[in-house]
Structure 1
Amino acid sequence: MTSGAPVRVGLFGLLGSGNLGNDGSLEAVLGHLRRAHPDAAVDALCGGPEVVAARYGIPATRLHWYGGEYRTASRAGAIAAKGLGKLVDVVRTAAWVRRHDVVIVPGMGVLEATLPLRPWGFPYSLFLLCASGRLLGTRVALVGVGAAPIGSRPTRALVRWSARLAAYRSYRDDLSRDAMRAMGVDTAHDEVHPDLAFSLPAPPSPAPVAGGPAGPPGPVCVGVMDFHGGDDDRARAEEIHRRYLDGTTRFVRALVEDGRPVRLLTGDEVDREVVAAILDAVDSPLVTAAEAASLADLMKETAAADTVVATRYHNLVCALKTGTPTLALSYAAKSDALMDLMGLAEFCHPAREVDADRLLDLFRELERRSAELRRTLAERNLAAARRLDHQFAALTAALFPTTDHAPTSRKAP
């Protein structure tokens, strides 16, 4: 960094691509940069540059040279273009990295394969980023990221080397740090903090409604997901999806039969088909779909609900952040770890084996203990906020050295 010149900061990831959790992580880091480093020059290399530029007001460049990167290539021309794109992206990524002093990968499950993932997709892009940073002297930081054991050897190798080449790493839970240690990454100096989205402002809490038979039951938010299992479940993907959809639909129908208003939430554009299927199957005016465009929108929905039942990780984060009693349809260990962190470990149900009757029993227990759990969540949210203050302070110390002292960078193992 040149003394007196603004720090050049790049933000990297599948941002602006329709996943609200990814964009929420971007928003959290961007908010920190604007508060703590208002003179920094910030831009992004991302999946949806038009969305990022319009929504967040920063310059943005498309992550991949080939526009059809995430479409299945079957014809020879498309296959050749995708292969050429991999070579072009080596040069494009290095050129972009070279223009920055610091590149931040904000949150997201970039070191995991809990959803279907090909090694030459995002894992390859992340490796290009981290390798370019190491070769060109640009600090690359993986901030509050998620990680998990990976079965595919090529994907595991790319993820392992990406982590090793990064100048800074922190994780959103202990399981993520343990997973990277098991892959052979030295995590002795890596810290764990709550998910970055816990630093986003929560909407004002609605006035409490007196319980008891005098008042009607309040709304229930049900967060759904286009869930087909993880990267190792490809052979059973359709069966897993059918069981998830059938069980969730039965649960929503049971709520409606009890007279409960239900708001269906999503966390990614791909979830809309699941919402449409449930609306069609239940066919009741009590079931409506929320049109959330951000985590702030999701938090408004969950804050207004009596209870939340959700699958996507950041649907859970939003519900817990607003202090609403929450039940997780857990599809990965990260969901269980999050619920444990927030004091609701017993309210998890497997997304791969949705049993509507068992889910209803857990839901009723959750509602019975609502007042107690709201107090627990208030305490855990305060603790999460304090830990995230430490995360951002550590990030500044590692990546934004003042001119009073020499910059330090921990070498990757």
Structure 2
Amino acid sequence: MLRSLNRIGILGHVGTGNLGDEAIITAVIQNLRRRCPESEICAFTSNPEDTQERHRVPAFPLRRGRIDSRVAQQTTTADSSRPKAVSRFKSSLKRARPLYRILKATRDCASMTVGVLQELAFIATSYRYVKHLDLLIIAGSHQLNDFVGGAWAFPYTLLKWTLMARLAGARVAFLSVGAGPVSSRLGKQFIRWTLALACYRSFRDERSRDLVSEIGSEGKNLFVPDLAFSLSAPEKHLSRLPSQPVIGINPLPFFDSWYWYKSDDQLYRQYVRKIASAAELAIDNGYAVWLFPTQLRADPLVIEDVRRGMSERYRHHLLNWPVQNFEDLVAGISACRFVIATRYHGILVSLLLKTPVLALAYHGKSKDLMRLLDQDKYVLDAACWDLESLPDLFFQLDRQRRQITEQIALRLPTIRGMLAAQYDAVLGQTLPQSESSAAETFGPPSEDRSIQMISGAEGAIK
């Protein structure tokens, strides 16, 4: 190694039951342990208890408060849950408008003051963990956005930890992260400051790379595919398989009012109805169907809606293969003839396992992912796909399954080679002596080189 990396931290907004994001953390840990077996590894996540249990590394919270691992439930209104006396008192205060406004402003000011003091205390505690690090890795996923929680959620959190790490003398590397949407002026500014402090940064798709360039992030913004592609997937197989071939279907709560950032009940119902019809089509053609989640908190609810949307005579053809962890997910997908997936990592894990997949793309990143593996003709728009177009793609996937598997297998080594080269560059390993200056500044491959590699050109990272 060209530098001492005694302690390495991994930061990710994980711990909420998203198996795709957890696969990213697993992949990073695997690659760090392979290259830096003596280094101490810790994590900063949304749910440290889950991270410690799942990944067997010390973990600390990246935000104040605690992430509730239970699925969000519909609640009654605030007034109906309060004692009637409190509700009457508040109604009386509202009639005295000047007094009510004064008391409300006082409460808001006090709440803000308490929040600031709590945040300062949290930063002081967090800095005690960060000050021992040599490297902080911001690990993949879709972390550069402000559509969830605004500028003070993801953008502020990443700026805070990056700044703490740099003040402590640690290097910061953003590895294959996703970006967007970023719409607020403050969110864009936070992201510009954050990326300016980083020693290395790469993005998992070209849309993300282009977006950060558009908002004014200067310097090299590289394209290196999703970190989950660097995972050594566990070999787990189901002990009992049905006599029929299996098709896996991975839905998500697309436009659902309790989950999606832009809710539309009518579009959600249409999506569920189409997924139910796709499952019925598969069953009519002699397949068993496995409806599977990759987000363990959210997806089971939409899966239940799909079940209810199917005719009764079809439901006994649905397989009940439970998914509690990534190993269960791998075992199920490996048993499928092909997969129809909406979630990004439902698509990616299928490709990683060389399983043909029909992608229902809700975002351009899914289209880019399929194009990366030369599978872009098997993509439908999740918002407006037509049921009439499904049978042709369905049977084409089945007929050409062997050729598709070979196409995927041909592309995967190049992608995994790009990721291996990225780990080596960031960790300062296996680089020629003439390239040592590049390693010292996390010297990456040029983006032209990355594109050439993805196209099948040979060559080592520069």
Q: Give the TM-score taking structure 1 as reference length.
A: 0.84
Alignment of 1:65-84 (within 5 A): 65-67=64-66
**Closer/same/farther in 2, CA of residues 287 and 155 from structure 1, 3 Å limit:** farther
**Letter paired with 2:384:** E
Structure 2: distance between partners of 1:350 and 1:53: 37
Structure 2: distance between partners of 1:153 and 1:57: 39
Structure 1: distance between partners of 2:384 and 2:148: 18
Alignment of 1:181-192 (within 5 A): 181-188=213-220, 190-192=221-223
Deviation at 1:120, TM superposition (A): 1.9
Give 5+ residue unaligned stretches, structure 2.
Answer: 80-106, 444-462
Residue among 135, 146, 161 paired with 1:102: 135
Aligned to 1:52: 51
Residue among 388, 396, 404 paired with 2:419: 388
Structure 1 residue ranges (4+ consecutive) displaced by more than 6 angstroms after TM superposition: 68-79
Structure 2: distance between partners of 1:364 and 1:82: 57
Aligned to 1:361: 392
Aligned to 2:298: 270
Structure 1: distance between partners of 2:319 and 2:305: 12
Q: Does the 8 A contact of 1:144 with 1:196 survive in 2?
A: yes
**Letter paired with 1:255:** A
Structure 2: distance between partners of 1:385 and 1:93: 34
Question: Which has the higher mean CA deviation after the structures are superposed, 98-107 or 364-373?
Answer: 364-373
**Letter paired with 1:32:** N
**Letter paired with 1:360:** P
Larger Rg: 2
Aligned to 1:379: 410
**Closer/same/farther in 2, CA of residues 203 and 99 from structure 1, 3 Å limit:** closer
**Letter paired with 2:13:** L
**Closer/same/farther in 2, CA of residues 204 and 59 from structure 1, 3 Å limit:** closer
Structure 1: distance between partners of 2:167 and 2:276: 51
Q: Does the 8 A contact of 2:138 with 2:174 survive in 1?
A: yes
Structure 1: distance between partners of 2:51 and 2:373: 31
**Letter paired with 1:199:** S
Give 5+ residue unaligned stretches, structure 1.
Answer: 207-214
Q: Does the 8 A contact of 2:175 with 2:201 survive in 1?
A: yes
Structure 1: distance between partners of 2:270 and 2:319: 22
Alignment of 1:168-317 (within 5 A): 168-188=200-220, 190-202=221-233, 218-228=245-255, 234=261, 236-268=263-295, 269-282=297-310, 283=312, 284-317=315-348
The question of 1:120 aligning with 2:152 is answered: yes
Deviation at 1:177, TM superposition (A): 1.4
**Letter paired with 2:366:** S
Deviation at 1:116, TM superposition (A): 4.1
**Letter paired with 1:260:** Y
Deviation at 1:29, TM superposition (A): 0.7
Deviations 1:4-50 (A, max 9, x none): x7611111122222111111111111001111111111111111211
Secondary structure of the 1:52 match is: helix
Structure 1: distance between partners of 2:427 and 2:280: 49
Structure 1: distance between partners of 2:388 and 2:409: 30
Identity %: 28
Q: Does the 8 A contact of 2:356 with 2:401 survive in 1?
A: yes
Structure 1: distance between partners of 2:235 and 2:68: 41
**Closer/same/farther in 2, CA of residues 167 and 74 from structure 1, 3 Å limit:** farther
Structure 2: distance between partners of 1:392 and 1:74: 50
Structure 1: distance between partners of 2:148 and 2:391: 29
Structure 1: distance between partners of 2:234 and 2:168: 42
Structure 2: distance between partners of 1:6 and 1:334: 33
Q: Does the 8 A contact of 2:46 with 2:67 survive in 1?
A: no
**Letter paired with 2:55:** Y
Secondary structure of the 2:44 match is: strand
**Closer/same/farther in 2, CA of residues 247 and 154 from structure 1, 3 Å limit:** farther
Deviations 1:189-215 (A, max 9, x none): x43222111122245699xxxxxxxx9
Secondary structure of the 2:354 match is: coil
**Closer/same/farther in 2, CA of residues 68 and 199 from structure 1, 3 Å limit:** closer
Structure 2: distance between partners of 1:137 and 1:339: 39
Q: Does the 8 A contact of 1:66 with 1:82 survive in 2?
A: no
Structure 1: distance between partners of 2:138 and 2:275: 33
**Closer/same/farther in 2, CA of residues 205 and 30 from structure 1, 3 Å limit:** closer
